Amino acid sequence: MAESTGQQDLRTYLRILWRWKFLFLAFLVLIPVGTYFYERGKPKTYESSTLIAIQGTSVDGTPITPENVAAVAQLVTTTPVAKKAAAFMQHPPANPDSLLNEVSASSDATTDYVTITVEDRSPSRAAAIANAFAKALGTAQNAQSLQSVNQQIAALKRQLRSISPKDQVSRSDVVSELTQLRSQKSTAGSGAQVVQPALVPTSPSGPKTRRAVELALVIALLLAVGAVVIAENSDRRLRTPEDLEALTKLPLLGSVPSSAFKPANDQVAIDVEAFQMLRASLTYFNVDQPLTSVAIISPLPADGKTTVAVGLAVAAARAGRTAILIDADLRNPQACTRLSIEPTPGLGAVLAGKAELDDVLLEYPFEMPGGGRLLVLPSHLGAPPPNPSALLSSQAMRDLLRRLEQRADLVVVDTPAALSVSDALPLVQAASGVAIIVRMNRSSRAAVRRLQKVIDSTHGRVIGIVATGFAAPAGAYNYGYDAQGEKGPRRRRFLRRRKRERITARTVTELQSDESSDQNGGVTTEFEPVTGPPGDSRREDA
């Protein structure tokens, strides 16, 4: 059953997050840590509050209602109130407006309460400022109320003087209003009453380090996710074989892990299995058209094409086939080095007419039952030829390839980097198939697109792509293998058996040495200890 899309998407996101883990952690760690030290460097501040009840009349002489309690709260943070508050303080500041930066006021329309809050570096000063503003608010409100009442009384007195003494009704109405205003004037001071005076705080209210760090952590998480998204979209390198398949629209022949970039005789079983899978893919992906020769090509150097060429040729020989490996990189040959073969005159000498094919064709030894043959045609000996492109594009090269195809089941051609030099283009045309090698986390999308266009222009037959340098998913090539690439339980049983055999062999050797010493008059005869069953070897042929 196919894997669910949601699960695949989750794995993709986790893989992207792991790829940019250092960038993600940089945001997630540096921002909160920087915020922590920044907050710790701030001076301590203290907060003190006073609670005021608004009663009686407002500043314009009208009764206090929940709607204008907010207006009274806004009056706290005005310059006239700040100046009055500074006058009430024991040590007033030089600039009363500076107090406004430390004062805030809020209102509660339900209870008609106004809360004045002050934050200062000194706890006693914070309480003093809060009480001063509470007193200044009451004074300011009383002053405005008295001013409004006095203005209304003065207006009524002028009106009373203008009324004729004979008009007793009108004069009686004005006198009644004057009486009410004088009564209101006597009670105007009850507009703002302090319910709870400000007290000196005993503990600082700031800086709020924990709150700032928690907020910074949330912001850092959002910024880290955004940075990972931007970095992923800006990165043009190919990361997974799935990305490679989607880009090229070609079948994925196999994935070769990074551990395979070692000499052929140092490869572990999981690397050998990867090349066996590649050989099987070449066989079953091309059942309709015979594949007698395959050119291994890559966009740039160090993509792993020599590793794949050598591994594929060895895998074909292990499967009982006759394989020929041609090192066609006349500028920087590497195939013989990976097979631990001494370089000899090879392809360059044959194409130049200085050597015969049978004289330079080497056979790589195999020590395994049922194995096939691996013949190696080295590149050259000494300095590279002056005209490698001309040699590889000659008719002699095409004829040589046809001759080798008749001798072997599969001819593997290791080519130079296609986008670096033009030597590989004639080999793309001459071979019966082309395999593109792309190294994950290194090769760019632009380079792969350019290589496809180059191959299309030469009318080469591309049979598929191979991803190198990528860790294979669990179970892809390591079925039955442990972390060292060997058979898990079977390998442990084998090691235990070898240990017992070595102990037994050492004991037998010591006994035989003692008997020989006794028989020869004290002269010890050495015996070669048994080290294990015959035919056992730890060597892995590449």
**Domain regions of the chain by residue span:** 7-42+208-234, 46-196, 250-468, 497-542
- Output the CA–CA distances (angstroms, integers) from residue 488 to 243, 259, 480, 482, 532, in the order listed: 32, 18, 6, 5, 19
| CATH architecture of the region 46-196 | 2-Layer Sandwich (3.30)
pLDDT at 53: 86
Q: What is the DSSP secondary structure assignment for residue 285, as one 8-state letter? A: T
pTM (2 decimals)? 0.57
519 burial type by CB count under 10 A (0-12 exposed, 13-18 middle, 19+ buried): exposed
CATH number of 250-468: 3.40.50.300
Phi, psi of 132 (to 5 degrees): -65, -40
E strand or H helix at 145: helix 123-162
Which 3 state secondary structure label does DSSP give 436?
A: strand
User: Which spans in 286-367 are helix H?
Assistant: 305-318, 335-338, 347-351, 357-360
Do the Cβ atoms of 523 and 536 come closer than 8 Å? no
Strand pairing of 113-120 and 103-108? antiparallel
- Residue pLDDT tens, the chain, 542 long: 344 444 457 877 887 888 889 999 999 999 999 999 998 888 999 999 999 887 655 444 455 555 678 888 888 888 988 998 998 898 888 788 889 999 999 988 788 889 999 999 999 999 999 999 988 887 766 666 677 777 777 887 787 778 877 777 777 877 787 787 777 666 555 557 888 999 999 998 888 899 999 999 999 999 999 999 888 877 778 878 888 888 888 888 888 887 777 665 555 667 788 888 888 888 776 666 778 899 999 998 888 899 999 999 998 998 888 999 999 988 888 888 888 888 788 888 898 888 899 888 998 887 666 678 899 999 877 677 888 888 888 999 999 999 999 999 999 999 988 888 888 888 888 898 999 999 988 888 888 989 989 888 888 888 889 998 876 544 444 444 443 444 444 444 445 555 455 544 454 455 445 444 444 444 333 333 333 333 333 333 33
Q: Which among 68, 70, 138, 132 has a CA at the least distance from the CA of 100?
A: 132
Task: Report the sign of the C-alpha dihedral through residues 115, 121, 127, 128, in that order.
Answer: negative
Beta strands in 29-80 (DSSP E): 46-54
241: CB partners within 8 A, 6+ apart: 252, 255, 440, 467, 470
Buried b (16+ CB within 10 A) or exposed e, 71-103: ebbebbbeeebbebbbebbeeeeeebeebbebb
Do the Cβ atoms of 333 and 293 come closer than 8 Å? no
Residue whose entry in the numeric block shows the structure tokens 């005005």: 78
pLDDT at 34: 94
Do the Cβ atoms of 129 and 118 come closer than 8 Å? yes
Q: What is the DSSP secondary structure assignment for residue 188, as one 8-state letter? A: G
The helix-helix angle for 123-162 and 79-88 (nearest 10°) equals: 120
How far is 463 from 436, CA to CA, in rounded Å? 8
Buried b (16+ CB within 10 A) or exposed e, 465-495: bbbbbbebeeeebbeebeeebbeeeebeeee
How far is 424 from 409, CA to CA, in rounded Å? 22
How far is 499 from 506, CA to CA, in rounded Å? 11
How far is 31 from 33, CA to CA, in rounded Å? 5
